[in-house]
Chains A and B, each alone.
Chain A
């Protein structure tokens, strides 16, 4: 066991409902499948649902609250995923914990979890107040999730400013719910717009994908199925995991990939003529 080896990564966004928890669950499973000992911490005490997305809601006995109070050992609170035993969840405690929880408490929890993990992912609550500050205090690096929408990007910018001032580094970007057709038609902020404005390295692009909802219904993250079988979002989450581990996986801007009739015709003509 190596006490200092864990990478502790905050998954945050500012705005709610942009895909933090979905990313945490899918990235957690993907990292675990790559063989990394991975722990996910639900730091959204007010509106916890990481347990649901992972399908672990019925197996929770203890939470971060009992660990902090010293009334159980960390091992008793961590819920191991059955299909992917490299992944463990530390469930969020009672929402009333918000009244007294301090940044130091989150640091303590994350450090304990980190002692037996390679990766610790912290699912951050929305907002920039106490809950965010508590979660951020425990992290060394961050992934900012946003969608290509005005309000989400604005809130992401605010969060990036706060992360910078706390010395969290590196901060990387995942752009979620990308609609290539709308982007190509300039009916939406483009990938380039968002990365230019936020000035962060892009760690991943996740398409708008109905399978995300299906997998949430089942409590089975898309990345459980592996690369081949997966939907576009599944592949994107797996690629995020690979890039996080330092693998050089090329990023393709889907709105620039030429599809549609005109591009197909173009390809056909160039193939047959040249």
Chain B
């Protein structure tokens, strides 16, 4: 450890590199173990958001769908802050929802 590293760590400006290594490893292993490529994960994330937002209004920017791993078990964890429930769920074929509002995500962007 150089003097500068030490000072940075004492001032909590920089995390110990061992801790950084651990966090990076946990993330990369969650992906390795699930054998999902980033593109598939992104698509799944998108679809999950779409399904959920038919029922409730969610905060799309704050929402997070990620892989976590512990004890060689990998879990898909979705953390989606709910703004409010929809009075009329946007389910195709249920009620008379307008086609243009059927996809709340597309509408939001």
Bound-state CA distance A249–B58 (Å) is: 55
A199 x B25 contact (CB < 8 A):
no
Which of B25, B29, B33, B71 has most A Cβ within 10 Å?
B25
B29 x A183 contact (CB < 8 A):
no
Contacts of A185 in B (CB 8 A): 1, 16, 18
A189 x B18 contact (CB < 8 A):
yes
Q: Does A154 belong to the interface (CB within 8 Å)?
A: yes
Write the B37-81 contact mask toward A (1 if CB under 8 angstroms, else 0): 000000000000000000000000000000000011000000000
Q: Does B10 belong to the interface (CB within 8 Å)?
A: no
A190 x B32 contact (CB < 8 A):
no
Write the B3-37 contact mask toward A (1 if CB under 8 angstroms, else 0): 00000000000001111011011101100110000
CB distance from B28 to the nearest CB of A (A): 6
Q: Quick one: which of A187, A189, A199 contacts B72, CB cutoff 8 A?
A: A199
Q: Quick one: which of A150, A157, A186 contacts B19, CB cutoff 8 A?
A: A186
CB distance from B61 to the nearest CB of A (A): 31
Q: Does A7 belong to the interface (CB within 8 Å)?
A: no
A150 x B25 contact (CB < 8 A):
yes
Bound-state CA distance A157–B26 (Å) is: 11
B25 x A154 contact (CB < 8 A):
yes
CB distance from B15 to the nearest CB of A (A): 9
Contacts of A197 in B (CB 8 A): 22, 25-26, 29
Contacts of B19 in A (CB 8 A): 186
B29 x A154 contact (CB < 8 A):
yes
B28 x A189 contact (CB < 8 A):
no
Contacts of A193 in B (CB 8 A): 18, 21-22, 25
Q: Quick one: which of B1, B25, B33, B71 contacts A189, CB cutoff 8 A?
A: B25
B71 x A199 contact (CB < 8 A):
yes
CB distance from B95 to the nearest CB of A (A): 47
Known: A185-B1, A187-B16, A197-B26. A150 touches B33 (CB 8 A): no
CB distance from B6 to the nearest CB of A (A): 9
For residue B69, which residue of chain A has the nearest CB?
A197
For residue A200, which residue of chain B has the nearest CB?
B72
Write the A145-172 contact mask toward B (1 if CB under 8 angstroms, else 0): 0000110011001101100000000000
Known: A150-B24, A199-B71, A199-B72. A186 touches B29 (CB 8 A): no
B28 x A188 contact (CB < 8 A):
no
Contacts of B25 in A (CB 8 A): 150, 153-154, 189, 193, 197
Chain B interface residues (CB < 8 Å from chain A): 1, 16-19, 21-22, 24-26, 28-29, 32-33, 71-72
Given contacts A157-B29, A188-B18, 16 further A-B contacts (CB under 8 A): A153-B25, A157-B33, A158-B32, A160-B72, A183-B18, A185-B1, A185-B16, A185-B18, A186-B18, A187-B1, A187-B17, A189-B18, A189-B21, A189-B22, A193-B22, A197-B25
Q: Which 4 A-B pairs have the closest CB atoms?
A: A186-B16, A186-B18, A199-B72, A193-B22
Chain A interface residues (CB < 8 Å from chain B): 149-150, 153-154, 157-158, 160-161, 182-183, 185-190, 193, 197-199
In the assembled complex, 10 residue pairs joining A and B whose CB atoms fall closer than 8 Å, in A order, are: A149-B21, A154-B25, A157-B32, A157-B33, A158-B32, A185-B1, A186-B16, A186-B17, A197-B25, A197-B26
